[in-house]
A and B are shown apart, each in its own frame.
Chain A
Amino acid sequence: MDPTQAGMVAIGAGIAVGLSGIGAGMGEQAIGAAAVGAMAEDEKFFGKGLLMTVIPESIAIFGLVVALILLFVF
């Protein structure tokens, strides 16, 4: 692979992680705020709240997987 190509792959991997991270963050922000609100009313919501909050995180993981495939397969 010539250096330009390698650089492009690296940039692509970076974009994959970065954008998916932003996406996950946007999702988590709203859910996290709501979960904290629910927990303030009743602490029993902790488990469910945490569960809901981390659901969008999968998006970040997808980005990471794409980045790893880019870096190690191409």
Chain B
Amino acid sequence: MFKPTRMTRVAIAGTKELMGPVISVLHKLNMIHITDYNEETEDFKIGKPLKPASKLSEHLISLRGISNQLGIAEKEPKAKFQVKELPVQIDERITVIQREVASRFDELRSIEFKIKEKEDLISAVKPFMALPLSLDSYHGYDTIKVHAGYIGEDIETKLAKITRDYEIFDGEYEKRTVFALFIPRGFEEEIQKLLQELRSYVELKVPELKGNPPVILEELTKEVSSLKEKYLSIRTELDKIKSEYSEFIMAADEYLSMETQKAEAPLRFATSPNAFIIDGWVPSRRFNVLEQELQKSIGDQVYLTKLEEEVNEEEIPIELENPGPSKPFELLINTFATPKYREIDPASVIFITFPLFYAIMLGDVGYGIVVAAMAFVIKTKFKTGGLNALALILFLSGILSILLGVLYGEFFGFPLFNVEIKGELEHGILGIAGPSIAGFHFPIHRFESVQPLLLMCLIIGMLHVFLGLIIGFRNIKIEHDLKHAIFAKGSWMMILIGGVAAIAKLMPALMSRQPVPSGDPVFLGGVALAIIGIILLIKGEGFISILEIPTLLSNVLSYSRILAIGLSSAGIALAVNTLSMNLFIRPHGVLLGGGIGLALVGVVILFIGHLINLLLGILGPGLHSLRLQYVEFFTKFYEGGGKKYVPFGYIRKYTEE
């Protein structure tokens, strides 16, 4: 908690024959973060991959190709494959599966092509259904030219000016006139000209087929449907292959990935003709495990040592270490930046502040329940990864929102408890008065208590920013020294405390148009403290840092968004409720006073309105709560820029030893 895992730098050296076994042990332990060797010298070169690497990656490529074609997605395995049996199975099966899949896909492609061809023919034949001619009568003349097409105007009068020696057929297809003109070739030039001048003319190519259009059409349609059937049956076969082999393919993929990783590991080592050296980091508390395992599996021939020399802090890989509940919040930390080795890891702080801010903003029993339930479903569906972490964060935030919702007395924007507003009693859903906790009477009606809530938000902001400064103080003290810490962060703390004290006394006086409280010791003390802080700041960071002072004010004021987002969310809920209740469900104060139809409209408005508000209610509070962490809180102490700890190894999912 609060600090990244302690790391120890280790070196492992041995003769080259031991490289394979050592790699196996390390890979199985999934513990060492290998530092890539990349400064070749005369004695030490970058290692060469182990022998099976090229064959393994070849297999892996064809396997990935198959799984891409079949569209195999990751899922929870039903049974695990034995690693011992996999190599033989892979050699046997991969070529077979590949052949089966490839031949079927080839067939699919050729069928697709044929279907396209036939469908093109069908659309070419269709217009000729309108004409009483067999398709062969359009072809094979020596002295006659055939023109066919759509036309939207009278053509015969114009033809008559050229010649009377022609025959024309016409008919209607899809509300357009289709015609076929048979005319001696001698008039070709004039006819071409005439047709070009006709705006409505669209040429039709006569398909080179024999027979009557209706008969041909029927045949073609039959052929297409039989092709489609064939296509579907091949698809079903592929689905069968997919369901039969998908687990095997996933397992083989896992096995091959692991073996490739091992085979390519020497590319990260320093090797001489006869020996190798691995440079890397392991979590300090697990160093013993590494030592024991190497001793047990390899023996004394391999040399393992801790390297104690000073290294650049940025070289040390970072693994965040947080207890279960705050673990998901590491996602938010890593999204921003991975901390440096000696920095505070703020995941455990965010574990409290993020859901708290979220809940103060959302604060509605109904929305809280929906958010928590949704998060719960996502959490059970995705057992690992970023989505799981996000769901856990959302779940916690939802639960807290329910709690805050009780304090605000809100259920989907409806009042939960009976409450008196401006002398009028508002009936709540539960029909009882709100709870009293430690002398406070709840619910706090948000619209009626804007001022105290605003004050509360600003106080929260001040505390949060101050906490950030404290952590920043600690970070700088460790990285540099106490003096630097006082100049860089202590000065800001003084300005913050002094400024807040002074403003707290000044504002009420200004608002009630009283003179400046120059005699008040708190006011004077605050001003003095702030001035000392400013002097320290200028001394430490230079005169230009004065420009930064207003940022502190805007940082604290920024927390008023907690109230603002909350009010807008509650406001939308209230508007939706009022609209649907007054206009549709209870017009004139009577249930269903406007009839069933209007009531239904009311229900739709209620549903859609709350759905939209719920979506906004997840996005808004989530992003703004995060922003307060990132912008207002983190900037006070967090630098980041650490390298993530990526141990050499693999977490098995589909296979077992």
Contacts and interface: CB of A to CB of B under 8 A. Distances in A.
Interface in A25-74: 44, 46-48, 50-51, 54-55, 57-58, 61-62, 64-65, 68, 71-73
Contacts of A47: 335-337, 630, 640
B549 to A, nearest CB: 14
B618 to A, nearest CB: 17
Given A47-B337, A65-B560, A73-B511, A54 B627 contact: yes
B554 A58 contact: yes
A51 B631 contact: yes
Given A51-B631, A65-B557, 18 more contacts: A44-B337, A46-B336, A47-B336, A47-B630, A47-B640, A51-B635, A54-B631, A55-B631, A58-B558, A61-B554, A61-B560, A61-B561, A61-B564, A62-B557, A64-B561, A65-B560, A68-B450, A68-B560
Contacts of A46: 335-336
A58 B627 CA distance: 11
A20 B640 CA distance: 32
B450 A72 contact: yes
Nearest to A64: B564
Nearest to B337: A47
Contacts, number: 43
B451 interface: yes
Contacts of A71: 450
Interface string B335-375: 11100000000000000000000000000000000000000
A50 B634 CA distance: 13
Secondary structure call for the A interface: helix
Interface in B497-530: 511
B554 A62 contact: yes
Interface string B432-453: 0000000000000000001100
8 contacts: A46-B336, A47-B630, A51-B635, A58-B557, A61-B561, A65-B557, A68-B454, A72-B451
User: Interface extent on B, as a size class?
Assistant: 10 to 19
Interface in B564-614: 564
Secondary structure call for the B interface: helix
A55 B631 CA distance: 8
A21 B102 CA distance: 58
A54 B255 CA distance: 45
Interface in B619-640: 626-627, 630-631, 635, 640
A51 to B, nearest CB: 5
Contacts of B560: 61, 64-65, 68
Contacts of A73: 511
A48 B630 CA distance: 9
A61 B630 contact: no
Contact of A61 (B558, B626, B635): B558
Nearest to A52: B631
A55 B335 CA distance: 18
B289 to A, nearest CB: 32
A70 B630 CA distance: 30
A18 to B, nearest CB: 14
Nearest to B511: A73
Contacts of B640: 47
Contact of A50 (B450, B454, B511, B630): B630
What 4 pairs between A and B have smallest CB-CB spacing? A47-B336, A58-B554, A54-B627, A72-B451
A73 B507 CA distance: 11
B627 A50 contact: yes
A48 B640 CA distance: 11
Contacts of B454: 68
A28 B451 CA distance: 29
Contacts of A51: 630-631, 635
B557 A61 contact: yes
A34 to B, nearest CB: 17
Interface in B172-225: none
A57 B511 CA distance: 26
A64 B124 CA distance: 67
A54 B620 CA distance: 13
A44 B564 CA distance: 30
A58 B631 CA distance: 11
Contacts of B627: 50, 54, 57
Contacts of A65: 557, 560
Nearest to A47: B336
Contacts of B626: 50
A7 B519 CA distance: 38
A47 B337 CA distance: 7
A66 B626 CA distance: 24
Contacts of A61: 554, 557-558, 560-561, 564
